[in-house]
Structures are given as structure tokens and as C-alpha cells.
């Protein structure tokens, strides 16, 4: 069976490319470009919800980042990059793995979506959502000051899940990370990994790393400069 990973460039499917490179498993990578902001027809043909990641393995087509990560780890990676139930950091692994799409990514999506409606950005609702998101970043920051990787001393899939939100997502909603030294040190450790470098070279060779404190240039601004929007 050949594993195929569909990656919508500048998007959260970067996690799956990165996972495959960290595991060193064979896979076919199919790149898709945004049209100009949302998914192209090629992704809609694979996923009725029109979102990436999508993986294919024989007759199977599977979506959702966390499902794809678990599937690949257990079907193709002999369980590597997951911690087993008898590992002392098993609960940490589960917590941080699910924190990424259960808490971190929804929180910034809330801020981003409300900011589109509340253009003054000063309403009590907006202030509350911002405060909540800052609290989440501070919580991660504290963890990453005491621990090299999110689940402990070992790099795991719990690290592959949240990095999109801390980096690439900031080109869609530009939050500042300057005050979070723990997170910035962590992102530096991430980009030094061979698996990460290989994934970036294959999946998004033209995209900047977005690991600085200050937010990167907005994705829509780049599209405007390229005359695509």
C-alpha cells in the first residue's frame, strides 16, 4: 500500500509532511495550492468539507490532522513518536497532543473570526477572547521553560500538532510571541530538526519559518502583492 499525503500549502497539513519525514517512512506527497485563500477543487474532490490534510492509503481516504497523525504512527511507524500507556509521560503526551487542536487552534480561530466582525477590536468579547488566548500562550510558555518538548524530554507527535498554530497560522492572524521566551526557544529547537528541514523543503520551500516574536507578513498581503487578490 502506498501512503499519499495531500498537503494544502501554507496550511495545517504541514504537520503530516513533517510527521512522515520524522518517521522516515515512504510516502507520496501531493502538493495543492490555495485558490487564492481557500482550498482548490482538488482538495474538495477528496474531502467533502474541503479541508486539508487528507491522506490516502490503498482504498482509505482519511482527514483531520490528529486522525491522520495517529493512523500513520500506528499503521506505518510502528508506534514511533507516540508514547505508550506504560510510559511515565503518557498522560502528558495525550494532553499536549490533544491541546493543539482542542484548545490552542480553536482559541486563535475565535480571536480571528471575531476580529473580522468587530473591526474596532475593542469590544468586551474581543478583549475576553484575546485575554484567553494570551493565557493559553503563557501556559504553553511555562511548560516549555521547564520541559524540552511538550510531553517531556522526548520529541513526540505532541510537538508535531501545535507548531502550525505557533508559526504558519500567524500569517493568517498575526499575533506576537516576543514575550514568550519558552515558546521561541522551543520553535528554534523545532527548526533544527532534520525531519522538519526536510518537510519544509518538500512541502513549503518558499515559505519563511515564522519563528520570530514579531508576526510574519500576512498571507493575504502577499496575495495582493502578487496580484492574486
Rounded least distance, CB 11 to ligand GSH, Å? 3
CB of 124 to ligand GSH, least distance (A): 28
What is the distance between the terminal CA atoms of the chain, rounded to a whole angstrom?
40
Identity of the residue, 51 or 167, whose beta carbon is nearer to ligand GSH in the bound complex: 51
Q: Which of residues 52 and 144 has its CB atom nearest to ligand GSH in the complex?
A: 52
* Residue 50 C-beta: closest distance to ligand GSH, Å: 5
Give the cell for residue 145. 521553560
Nearer to ligand GSH, 65 or 89 (CB): 65
Beta strand pairing status for 28-32 and 60-63? unpaired
Nearer to ligand GSH, 149 or 219 (CB): 219
Q: How many CB atoms lie within 10 A of CB 59?
A: 6
Helix (H) or strand (E) holding 181: helix 181-191
CA pair distance 50, 96, nearest whole angstrom: 26
Least distance from C-beta 51 to ligand GSH, angstroms? 3
Residues interacting with ligand GSH, by CB under 6 A? 8, 11-12, 38-39, 50-53, 64-65, 101
Q: Are 163 and 187 in contact (CB under 8 A)?
A: yes
Amino acid at each position: 500500500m502506498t501512503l499519499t499525503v495531500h498537503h494544502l500549502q501554507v496550511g495545517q497539513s504541514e504537520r503530516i509532511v513533517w510527521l512522515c519525514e520524522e518517521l522516515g517512512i515512504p510516502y507520496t506527497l501531493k502538493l495543492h495550492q490555495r485558490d487564492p485563500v481557500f482550498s482548490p477543487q482538488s482538495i474538495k474532490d477528496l474531502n467533502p468539507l474541503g479541508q486539508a490534510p487528507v491522506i490516502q492509503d490503498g482504498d482509505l481516504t482519511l482527514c483531520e490532522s490528529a486522525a491522520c497523525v495517529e493512523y500513520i504512527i500506528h499503521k506505518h511507524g510502528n508506534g514511533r513518536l507516540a508514547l505508550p500507556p506504560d510510559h511515565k509521560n503518557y498522560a502528558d503526551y495525550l494532553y499536549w497532543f490533544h491541546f493543539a487542536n482542542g484548545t490552542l487552534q480553536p482559541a486563535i480561530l475565535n480571536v480571528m473570526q471575531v476580529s473580522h466582525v468587530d473591526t474596532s477590536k475593542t469590544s468586551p468579547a474581543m478583549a475576553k477572547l484575546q485575554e484567553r488566548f494570551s493565557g493559553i500562550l503563557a501556559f504553553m510558555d511555562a511548560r516549555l521553560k521547564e520541559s524540552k518538548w511538550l510531553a517531556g524530554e522526548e520529541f513526540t507527535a505532541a510537538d508535531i500538532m501545535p507548531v502550525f498554530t505557533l508559526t504558519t497560522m500567524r500569517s493568517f492572524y498575526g499575533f506576537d510571541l516576543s514575550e514568550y521566551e519558552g515558546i521561541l526557544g522551543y520553535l528554534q529547537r523545532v527548526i533544527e530538526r532534520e525531519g522538519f528541514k526536510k518537510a519544509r523543503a518538500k512541502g513549503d520551500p518558499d515559505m519563511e519559518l515564522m519563528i520570530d516574536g514579531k508576526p510574519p507578513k500576512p498571507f493575504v498581503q502577499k496575495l495582493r502583492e502578487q496580484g492574486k487578490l
